[in-house]
Amino acid sequence: MMVLRAMRDDAHDFDALCQIAELSGPGFTSLTTDRDLLHNKIRRSEEAFTQTLDAPLDELYLFSLEDAETGAVGGCCGLESAVGMREPFYNYRVGTIVHASRELGVYRKTPTLYLSNDYTGCSELCTLFLNPDFRGGGNGTLLSKARFLFMAEHAHRFNDRVIAEMRGWSDDNGQSPFWDALGRKFFDMDYARADHLTAVSTKAFIAELMPRYPVYTTLLPEDAQRAIGRVHPNTEPALRMLKAEGFRYQGYVDIFDGGAAVDVLFEDIKAIKRSRVAELTVGTPTDQTRVLVSNRELAQFRCTLTMATIDEAGEQITVPPDIADALGVSTGDRLRYLTLS
């Protein structure tokens, strides 16, 4: 059984996160192989889980996907409560400039890239990575969707718009055509080096040295143009899941690799709208329904995937004893659940 839980500031979770950072490879800029920075992320997350808040500030919540029997960590994911509050948060907004001349019979629409801070203050889904050894068996669903149960339970900790930046496309050698065509023109470094610098510091230093004027995408090589709004093959399943939840591409891309950013109103996320709270009975489920089920804690948050029995009103749920033990709950407690098709 796999359980998603709040990441802990201990040697076990730290070593697991370091291994995940190594596995994620170039382009996964929300993680870095710098051990000090990873440790700081875990500390920041643990502080967020223990704070009493009336509104979102700039908290980071990290979660570990753990095998309940062996303790092995198979993945991680995260939530930022409000981006751009510690430092500027940049994207390129894809726009259009029209050049027209009636006398010459010319009418041409040219795509452009504008440097933007439009997503400042939004909450963000981030840092999702599943170890290839743990893929399958519903683990990807648990890792990605469990965050929505946490958000539904602690809605006051998040803002009314939620975004997700998708990892951009790169070739088999880890080279980004978007970076090579644009970013590299202003920095004397390759993609891997720039990727490392953005992970250990911030993307703000890139944005501050990039052109402030619109970039005409037609001046970029064709492979760079094709990379705009395109995601890495390993990211495509996550993008499909987000689109199914209501996230949409609105013409914003990453300034680093050109990967798509998607967004949605908090209240329109389907999993949040469909999640319910019910009273628990510990027993043997009949008429089983596949569900994500979580306790309603903050620092002790737990979520897992199981079969359960739910009454017609949706107010009573029965789960097996091992599931209740994994969540740290007992008969009479109230749980949050999400039915899965």
Q: Are 148 and 230 in contact (CB under 8 A)?
A: no
CA dist 151 and 71 (Å) reads 25
pTM score: 0.93
Please list the alpha-helical segments (H only) found in 245-306.
270-274
pLDDT of residue 26: 62
Q: What angle do CA 272, 238, 303 make, to 5 degrees?
A: 45
pLDDT tens digits along 256-277: 899 999 999 999 999 999 999 9
Please confirm, yes or no, whether 232 is among the known catalytic residues. yes
pLDDT of residue 204: 67
pLDDT of residue 209: 76
CA dist 200 and 29 (Å) reads 9
Q: Which portions of the chain are predicted below pLDDT 70?
A: 25-29, 195-196, 198-204, 206
pLDDT of residue 185: 87
How many Cβ atoms sit within 10 Å of the Cβ of residue 138?
15
- Of the residues 99, 154, 196, 232, only one is catalytic, namely 232
pLDDT of residue 226: 96
Residue 308, token pair as written in the block: 């359960």
Strands 60-67 and 316-319, by their bridges, are unpaired
